[in-house]
Structure 1
Amino acid sequence: MSELPEMLAVVVVRERALPRGADEAVAEAGGAVLLCGTGTAAAAGQLTAATRSWTLESPVAPAALAAALAPLLDAVRVVLLPSSPDGRDLAPRLAFATGRDLRAGATRCDTAEADLVRLDDALEVRVRLTGPSVVTLLPGQRGVDHPTEPPTPTDLTPDPRITSQSAPGITSQSGVGIRGFSAVVRDAEVVEVVEGGAESVELEEAERIFGGGAGLVPDGADGAAVMRDLGEVAAALGASAGATRVVSDAGWVGHERQIGTTGAVVDPRLYVAFGISGATQHTGGLGRPEHVVSINTDPSCPMTAMADLGIVADAPAVLDELARRLLGSRDG
């Protein structure tokens, strides 16, 4: 096979679908990418930043994948993964399997150093990469400068005619095997796959988002309960629930639900803002929604000014009425 470069993006593919941030990781790695998982050849054709690509068709199991990838990465100094769910699962396994340092949560990376965010994105630190490293790159940070025509990938999947006569392949305790690589690894056993609804979708991937601000929580109210109500109403309408920094700082939702330049950067088709005034920090993370609805008592607030539809009303009262109509959980 052709020699792998000093810096390489590794992207986990499921059924030909690329994770969010895949092209950004490829661009940060200079266009070099190794795709592993299922439907890798088709996924390679969807990349817009790749100039060199390799594929390894295999089941998606982090321990088995790490063991299979480890011997292929000897010449690679920096392995860069998008900070997607599969990327975050594979990165520590791969770091352990290859004896590399793990640097998680990067906004920028090259072969010499990486910029990492810490303390809930309040601090960015620059670290020197003194040896071979595994780095995860946060999505929504880089973009792709010059889209390219996807190259023909080089297939690294072992020939089954050879492997059937030689090594039995990697076997994990969950029964997942990758033929052609000799190892025994421990992997999580899949007990059940539960189809998630819109409320479980990561904000960065949601097409509809209901956002809650401080104006959604009346004085003396249980903020966490109000935000749970918002999540239930959002789910009933096929949307995910997000929040402003004030709400997440108060502990009413997890930080992963915070929208803004110091939280999740989103780009939904529809954004409905409940009691959100529209501070620059928040609107800077909204991307370019096709439709914005603002529910606020202040008709002159920035969020209402940028909305396609501004509803001048008490946000808690509107949420209560929606819950009553959609969930039957309110009297009146």
Structure 2
Amino acid sequence: MNALPEVLAVVVVRDGALPGGADETVAEAGGAVLLAGTGTARVAKEVRTARSTWTVESAQVGPGSLAATLGPLLDAVRVVLLPASPDGRDLAPRLAFGTGRPLHAGAIRCGIDTADLSRADDALEVQVRFAGPVVVTLTPGVRGIGHPIEPPEPVTVEVEPAEALDAEPVEVREPEPETVELTEADRILGGGAGLVRRGEDGTAVMRTLTEVAAWLGASAGATRVVTDAGWAGHDRQIGTTGVVVDPKLYVALGISGAAQHTGGLGRPEHIVSINTDPSCPMTAMADLGIIADAPEVLRELDRRRRDA
């Protein structure tokens, strides 16, 4: 087995599926990744930012057994970086405890000596300097991945699975569209300042957008103007100071398309813009531009949802 680098991304794979934030975590680790779980060899070719890949196939994806199995392999690794996906958040504390390392959760940037734990909306700045080996989780959607590269051939690591006390999963359910993390959403309806008329309750409008989005099998997102106004949570903010998304479909309602917002859109397969301004940047970059009043379109969609 090739020696593992000082900074290594550890990504939990479940049934051959990568979690949200996997590519950007690997990019943050300099392209070095250890894939652990089920279906690792199959998914290794899908990591778009990997320069060196190791796989550990395990029949159990429980955090206790995975932590006990991976712990001895990571002795020479200074920074173990995991995406803050559901499995990543479960594994990180078990891995930190089992290896005697401190855990720094929710970083937006991470290097070999420091982690940036500041909030993505710039409301709080926290820098941490490492005194030794650490475990860090990286918040999905706060950085890009650069240009995808050709994935390398993975190195299979043969290990004896360790036994540990784990909860036994009864059922794995798909998240509800209105609560799924935006980084994992295939369809997103984004609301901007143009969706809220003067004097209207912006929180109520965004709640309607969330309900309509769920009815259409989508998640609701927002611009920074909307989240700064308190009409939606900052976890719903798309952009350079919010989360970076990569949906198959993005529908922008009342969004002009400022660079700070479009910089967080990734590469959607299809973009629909609903705006009264046919010349705004959002409509210019859309596959389909609908020149209409976004609040009225939302009201009509909500009426149809209620009548369905």
Contact 1:46 1:150 in 2 (8 A): no
Quote the residue 1:34 is aligned against.
34
Bigger mean CA offset, 114-123 vs 287-296: 114-123
- Match of 2:230, as an amino acid? G
Q: Which has the higher contact order (CA 8 A, sep 6+)?
A: 2
2:234 to 242, 255, 263: 255
The code of the aligned residue for 2:8 comes to L
Tell me how far 1:108 sits from its aligned partner: 4.0
RMSD: 2.8
Tell me which residue corresponds to 1:181.
none
Deviations 1:169-223 (A, max 9, x none): 3123x3x4xxxxxxxxxxxxx5664433443432223232111112212233332
Shift of 1:52: 4.3
Pairing of 1:1-332 with structure 2 (within 5 A): 3-48=3-48, 49-118=50-119, 120-122=121-123, 126-139=127-140, 140-143=143-146, 146-158=149-161, 169-172=163-166, 174=167, 176=168, 190=169, 193-328=172-307
Matched letter for residue 204 of structure 1: T
The amino acid of 1:208's aligned partner reads R
Change (3 A) 1:51 1:237: same
- Give, in angstroms, the shift of residue 31 of structure 1: 4.3
Query: Tell me, which stretches of 5 or more residues in structure 1 are unaligned?
Result: 164-168, 177-189
- C-alpha contact 1:64 1:171 (8 A) present in aligned 2: yes
Deviations 1:239-270 (A, max 9, x none): 22111112112222221111111111123332
TM-score, normalisation: structure 1: 0.79
- Deviations for 1:284-322, whole angstroms, at most 9, x for unmatched residues? 212233433222233443323333333333222111111
Residues 60, 326 of structure 1: alpha-carbon distance in 2 compared, 3 angstrom cutoff? same
1:30, CA displacement in angstroms?
4.4
Distance 1:135 1:222 in 2: 39
Instruction: Give the secondary structure class of the aligned counterpart of 2:256.
Output: coil
Distance 2:257 2:275 in 1: 10
The C-alpha deviation readout for 1:133-190, integer Å capped at 9, x for no partner, is: 11223444343664342223112244xxxx8xxxxx3123x3x4xxxxxxxxxxxxx5
Corresponding letter in the other structure for 2:299: D
3-state SS of 1:118 partner: coil
Between the aligned partners of 2:145 and 2:26, the Cα distance in structure 1 is: 10
Q: Secondary structure at the match of 1:15?
A: coil
TM-fit CA distance, 1:3: 5.0
Letter aligned with residue 15 of structure 1:
D
Are 1:103 and 1:136, in contact at CA under 8 Å, matched by a contact in 2?
Answer: yes
User: Structure 1 153/241 Cα, relative in aligned 2: closer, same or farther at 3 Å?
Assistant: same
Structure 1 CA distance for aligned equivalents of residues 146 and 56 of structure 2? 23
Q: 1:120 to 1:104 in 2, by over 3 A?
A: farther
CA contact (8 A) 2:203 2:230 kept: yes
How far, CA to CA, are the matches of 1:26 and 1:296 in structure 2?
37
Deviates more, 1:297-306 or 1:9-18: 297-306
Note the C-alpha offset of 1:40. 2.5
Residues 41 and 154, structure 2, Cα contact 8 Å, conserved in 1: no
Output the amino acid matched with 2:22: A
Distance apart, 1:97 and its partner CA: 2.8
Aligned residues with identical type, % of pairs: 67
User: Number of residues paired by the alignment?
Assistant: 305
Structure 2 residue ranges without an equivalent (≥5): none
Deviates more, 1:110-119 or 1:274-283: 110-119
